[in-house]
Amino acid sequence: MRIFIYPGSFDPVTNGHLDIIERASKICDKLIVAVLVSHNKTPLFSMEERTDMLRRVIKECNCTNVEVECFSGLLVDFVKKKNANVIIKGLRAVSDFEYELQMALLNKNQSPEIETLFMMSSINYSFLSSSMVKEIARYNGDFKGLVPECIVEDIADKFGIKEPKGEL
């Protein structure tokens, strides 16, 4: 069985993340979207909120071979625990590649049997990040087309927005 891990903070999940999830799920038997418990970042959404949003998004996109789990610690340890051997990383730009290459090489040094597969984001989402979504929402800008429809209200509620701007 080919089990892939797609790690990230997903704070919140964006349409760019969803694009990678849908595409990666087509090339493996099981994809585990692994939500990172980060000790270096203070997320806007709690772990429970992030995993709940991801589960709703995945249910709507009908990706039947995708699961959502949380993890902390070393990614390679989580990958081994799940009997996976491939880490999926989404890339938007050259700047992403430099950081992700370093991480992939570190992971390879720790566990040579684990491969990292880089997937370029769709051109439609190459500019998109969770940080940008939060910044737009913070000032009540139009973020509706940047995230899956089923989590628009979660983001609006977090920022106290009564009626989010924009069209879906």
Per the annotation, where are the binding residues? 9-10, 17, 41, 75, 89-92, 100, 125-131
- 41 noted as active-site residue: yes
CB 116 within 8 A of CB 10: no
The C-alpha atoms of residue 143 and residue 145 are separated, in whole angstroms, by 6
| Nearest residue to 58 (alpha-carbon basis) of 87, 26, 15, 21 | 21
User: Catalytic one among 92, 108, 138, 144?
Assistant: 92
44: three-class secondary structure by DSSP: coil
Per the annotation, where are the binding residues for ATP? 9-10, 17, 90-92, 100, 125-131
- 17 noted as active-site residue: yes
CB burial of residue 51 (10 Å; 0-12, 13-18, 19+): middle
Per the annotation, where are the binding residues for substrate? 9, 41, 75, 89
The C-alpha atoms of residue 34 and residue 67 are separated, in whole angstroms, by 8
User: Catalytic one among 41, 59, 81, 165?
Assistant: 41
| Nearest residue to 13 (alpha-carbon basis) of 61, 54, 59, 48 | 54
User: Catalytic one among 17, 50, 121, 134?
Assistant: 17
User: Catalytic one among 25, 50, 121, 130?
Assistant: 130
Active site residues: 17, 41, 92, 130
